[in-house]
Structure 1
């Protein structure tokens, strides 16, 4: 039953577009308060997180049809730019492997842009296996620490709140930019301009 609740909690938290507790804190909670094997906690937590992010991106994709036409054109132009420069996609995927930064807004942007989601989700899952294993292992080493303070520090700290607000503002900015005009202007400029 603990594994089911871990999966559902990780899944639910990763459906949130912002201000949810990080999944690693849930792994830490289960790792400190239980005796389940760490590898199982990490695997189940990463699966729940990846599926939650995938559903979030699919929801954003559905919501994208309700956006104003101007924003839909901007998003379509951004998708064309991403698809044209595949090496940029690889860089973004690599960030998932090494970055513990919030990913909800990136998944929403990818969903809105209708970029294929399986590669992003797989990279997210792989990256989270490493980060969750690190946090889980560390938690097992420091069982006597105050978990409540660690778990919710991200939610209540000014830096954590500012980061979430900044990521939401970046998402709004990304869909508001006239990518077609911006990218065509860059192509029209002579080299070295």
Structure 2
């Protein structure tokens, strides 16, 4: 239980940082390499801590928003109205953003300043991070339980790996042989 509390505290602290915090996925990978805890438990602990951290960060920025000029608050209110008008697209965009390893602090800071309703944003972030953290944690366990050199050899000599490489070379040749001037001229 202590390992989960430590992981939760580390990830929460990182996600409370407004900028320049280490990526949470790096903590997940290190935890996966050093711990015997099950992947689902690590992922759910980290995703919960990350979501709570971002939620609290956004609420902190709401307090800062009270100190902004009237003009800036009006601009932020217009941004909030645009997000809330098309809520489905906003949640979808956040979900895609949450799946990527791109830092999300500034997105939650902006949401806090604009006083956007955070529950949906945080839920989409949690789901996205659960998926991406699962990939990182499973990758860490895969590397931990095997020889890294063997992984490279297996990848380079596997039929799927060879097919992917050949396919990419074919795509590269096709890319270079296309008459891009003619293709782009048709678009105009």
Counterpart position of 1:181: none
Of structures 1 and 2, the one scoring higher in RCO (CA 8 A, sep 6+) is 1
- The 5 Å alignment of 1:12-161 reads 12-143=13-144
Q: 1:52 to 1:69 in 2, by over 3 A?
A: same
Larger radius of gyration: 2
Give secondary structure in 2 for the equivalent of 1:134: helix
Give secondary structure in 2 for the equivalent of 1:142: helix
For the 8 Å contact 1:96–1:123, the answer to whether it is kept is no
Give secondary structure in 2 for the equivalent of 1:30: helix
Higher deviation after alignment, 66-75 or 82-91: 82-91
Number of aligned residues: 145
Q: Using the alignment, how far apart are the partners of 1:138 and 1:84 within structure 2? A: 39
For the 8 Å contact 1:10–1:48, the answer to whether it is kept is yes
Map Cα deviations across residues 20-55 of structure 1 (whole Å, 9 max, x no partner): 111111111111111111111011000000000000
For the 8 Å contact 1:97–1:130, the answer to whether it is kept is no
Deviation at 1:81, TM superposition (A): 1.6
Q: Using the alignment, how far apart are the partners of 1:80 and 1:30 within structure 2? A: 41
For the 8 Å contact 1:82–1:89, the answer to whether it is kept is yes
Q: Using the alignment, how far apart are the partners of 2:63 and 2:85 within structure 1? A: 24
Q: Using the alignment, how far apart are the partners of 1:120 and 1:37 within structure 2? A: 27
Q: Which runs of 5+ in 2 are unaligned?
A: 149-188
Deviation at 1:10, TM superposition (A): 0.4
For the 8 Å contact 1:38–1:136, the answer to whether it is kept is yes
TM-score, structure 2 length as denominator? Answer: 0.73
Deviation at 1:87, TM superposition (A): 4.0
Q: Using the alignment, how far apart are the partners of 2:89 and 2:69 within structure 1? A: 27
Q: Which runs of 5+ in 1 are unaligned?
A: 146-193
Give RMSD over aligned pairs: 1.5
Q: Using the alignment, how far apart are the partners of 2:95 and 2:38 within structure 1? A: 28
TM-score, structure 1 length as denominator? Answer: 0.71
Q: Using the alignment, how far apart are the partners of 1:94 and 1:125 within structure 2? A: 9
Give secondary structure in 2 for the equivalent of 1:114: coil
